[in-house]
Amino acid sequence: MEVLKGKPGEGPGMLQRFFDRTGMKSGWLLTWALCGEDIEQLHARFQFQHSKVDIWRSVFARDISAALGNFYFYAATGLARVESQTYGRHESHGVRYYIRRTVHITHIYVYAKENYSFADDGDGHSQYLGHWNKHDMLWLAASLAGDYVSKEFGQQPQIRPHLWNGTDNPVYTELPLLERSVYYPIRNRDFRAWQRQHQQGGDFLIYSDRIFIQLKTPITVELPECLL
């Protein structure tokens, strides 16, 4: 059985803040209902773990790479059983009563979350969003000597583009140079420039569908004692 000790700012800390606010002592914790079936509330109040999906590792999953870039899968508490012990302790000012809770997480929610902010890290490098034209896009892998994947709508041919002096310049896939065979690099800074010019577009936050998963072995979270 996996036992997690409570640390401020981590998953156990989120659970402790919930109990501090509600005073719940025991019973079943159904987080989706408690959050009013609001995914943002679930994420803010009960998310406890995440795993990064690196865009370079998913370069051949082009639809995902083009749509999300780097993103994260998150896990949040879904269903948990709460147990508690209450006890008194003789102290200098008399008897004080405490509670210690143990939470057994039996089910979790897993989902993806992405923030479309088109923001860069401020190091002068703007995130690469692929090479595009009006018909399609292609993605240049980390090594310019490698293969590149392009997708005509409805097809998935393997194509090796010819470079015009690196990833910050157009590429073409065939001669003669037709409009649909030339692709142009797009970065975060290009979208921000388009926003300024047209006064349209914006940043937004998306969540995938939630998957409700029963754990083979419940996660046990032992929370520190608190005053009643």
User: What is the pLDDT, as a whole number, of residue 75?
Assistant: 94
Task: Report, as an integer, the average pLDDT of 42-70.
Answer: 72
What is the domain range of residue 142? 128-201
Question: Is-cis flag, bond preceding 157, omega within 30?
Answer: no
* Same domain flag for 24 and 43: yes
* Same domain flag for 18 and 85: yes
Cα–Cα distance, 228 to 217 (Å, whole number): 31
Q: Judge whether residue 52 has pLDDT over 70.
A: yes
Residue 228 neighbours by CB under 8 Å, 6+ apart: 86, 97, 98, 99
High-pLDDT (> 70) share of the chain, %: 73
* Same domain flag for 61 and 44: yes
Exposed, middle or buried: residue 198 (CB in 10 Å: 0-12, 13-18, 19+)? exposed
* Same domain flag for 177 and 211: no
* Same domain flag for 98 and 176: no
Cα–Cα distance, 222 to 16 (Å, whole number): 10
Q: Judge whether residue 36 has pLDDT over 90.
A: yes
Convert the pLDDT of each residue in 162-217 to its tens digit.
555 456 788 888 878 788 888 888 888 888 888 889 988 777 788 999 999 999 99
Q: Residue holding tokens 């008194």?
A: 88
Asked whether residue 47 is assigned to any structural domain, the reply reads yes
* Same domain flag for 182 and 215: no
In this structure, of 30-44, 74-88, 113-127, 180-194, the range with the lowest mean pLDDT score is 113-127
* Same domain flag for 38 and 103: yes
The vertex-129 CA angle with 43 and 193, nearest 5°, equals 95
Task: Report, as an integer, the average pLDDT of 71-96.
Answer: 91
Number of domains in the chain: 2
Cα distances (Å, whole numbers) of residue 11 to 50, 51, 80, 213: 11, 14, 13, 18
Asked whether residue 164 is assigned to any structural domain, the reply reads yes
Asked whether residue 122 is assigned to any structural domain, the reply reads no
Query: CA end-to-end span of the chain, whole Å?
Result: 29
Against a cut of 0.95, is the pTM above it?
A: no
